[in-house]
Amino acid sequence: MPESTDTALTQIASRTDGARIVLDRVSKVYPGQDAPAVEEFSMVAEPGELIMFVGPSGCGKTTTMKMINRIIEPSSGSITIDGRDILSLDPSELRRHIGYVIQQIGLFPHMTIAENIAVVPKLLGWTKQRTADRVDELLQTVQLDPGTFAHRYPRQLSGGQQQRVGVARALAADPPVMLMDEPFGATDPITREKLQAEFLRLQESIGKTIIFVTHDFDEAIRLGDRIAVLSERSQIEQFDTPAAILAEPANDYVRSFIGQGAALKRLALIPVETAVLGAASAAVDHHRIATDDSLRDALDLLIVTGAPAIGVVDRSGTLVGSLTVERISTALGADATALAATRSDEGRLA
């Protein structure tokens, strides 16, 4: 059997631009406990998708995620990556092709930053030169200057810098799949926002299939392609795009998770250019918003300035129209209708 294991791993490893993950009725029962920690969890993550698991602590979201790299062994069910059954592979070799980032980072304190990042390439037997080049490249990717940081030790770095190294280390062998367990949870709000923005930009260019666990719903909205709202025993209450969940929460549980200000959160997801703009006139040109800003930014500007309308400018800076509170609210309504329409289309197709 070792031969087929090798081919399976090679195949998974070669899908560096994201692989499809399928979890089928996966359960985890801890010995001595009546209730399963995870019960019959099924989900498909498409290649390149960033999926957020959101739920309260103890709901089993982390357990579910950790079964994908077998830090926790499932009790039943099947998990495949790119069609390969991972439960039949050697766990250590499998993990070398799955990036893993945890909240506590877990950098190795006795190794330099460069050595930390080089761990997986070394395990995979890369040459020294290839490893060194990759370390430099990754440090630049996470915006740490290799000359300054490569030879420092983890304790000489700030928390935010350490987590960047954590992300770089997980990306070292260019794995198709990344598992991230509240990676930005322990950083202060300003650093977190910065790391999130950097991470989004990074994901745009690398397009991994990512399972991202968080208890912060706003983080889920900001980052996720799709969000799975989980309750006890990792039951999926709703699994959909952020916009769809905000517009139509499946039940009270999901609603309670969204909390106050669902409309504002939705506005943050809709760019100004999707709204039907009013006429452009010199009268509205005192305050300006760009077409690729969000409607939430636009509303913010309207409230702060107290102006009845604000001007909208395109990338080149030419005035293309105006926005009022009514137009923003119309755009929000239109967005909900559009969502409902795609949904009924999907229903008909299915």
Query: Which residue ranges make up the site for another protein (CB under 8 A)?
Result: 69, 71, 92-97, 100, 102, 104-112, 119-120, 123, 153-156, 166, 169-170, 179
Report the nearest approach of another protein to the CB of residue 66 (Å): 8
Residue 37 DSSP symbol:
S
Minimum CB distance to another protein smaller for 111 or for 334: 111
**At how many degrees (to 10) do helices 295-305 and 325-349 cross?**
160
Indicate the SS3 state at residue 341: helix
CA–CA separation, 329 and 134 (whole Å): 48
**φ and ψ at residue 59, rounded to 5 degrees:** -85, -5
**Is 27 in a helix, a strand, or coil?**
strand
Nearest approach in angstroms of CB 156 to another protein is 8
Residue whose entry in the numeric block shows the structure tokens 């009514």 = 326
Which CA distances in Å does 294 have to 86, 193, 236, 301?
Answer: 41, 17, 29, 11
Q: Which residues contact 164 (CB under 8 A, 6 or more apart)?
A: 142, 143, 144, 195, 198
The distance of closest approach from Cβ of residue 112 to another protein in the complex, given in angstroms and rounded to an integer, is 7
Compute the least distance from the CB of residue 103 to another protein, in Å.
Answer: 8
CB of 93 to another protein, least distance (A): 7
Residue 44: strand pairing partners: 22
- Nearest approach in angstroms of CB 63 to another protein is 13
> Cα torsion for 172, 174, 179, 184, to the nearest 10°?
50
Shortest separation between residue 4's beta carbon and another protein, angstroms = 19
Separation CA 85–CA 327 (nearest Å): 51
Q: Which is nearer to another protein, 90 or 285 (CB)?
A: 90
- Of 149 and 239, the one with the shorter C-beta distance to another protein is 149
Q: Least Å distance between CB 25 and another protein?
A: 24
Contact 119, 107 (CB under 8 A): no
User: 49 or 181, CB closer to another protein?
Assistant: 181
- Count, in order, helices (H) and strands (E) of the chain: 15, 13
Nearer to another protein, 213 or 254 (CB): 213
* Shortest distance, position 177 Cβ to another protein, whole Å: 12
Q: Quote the Cα angle for 329-269-243, to 5°.
A: 90
- Which structure tokens are listed for 258? 């969204």
Q: Which is nearer to another protein, 106 or 271 (CB)?
A: 106
Is 247:339 a contact under the CB 8 Å cutoff? yes
Question: With respect to another protein, which residue has the nearer C-beta, 30 or 108?
Answer: 108
3-state SS assignment for residue 259: coil
Toward another protein, which CB reaches closer, 107 or 229?
Answer: 107
Distance CA 207, CA 199 (A): 11
Residue number with CB closer to another protein (51 or 94) = 94
- In DSSP terms, 54 is beta-bridged to 214, 229
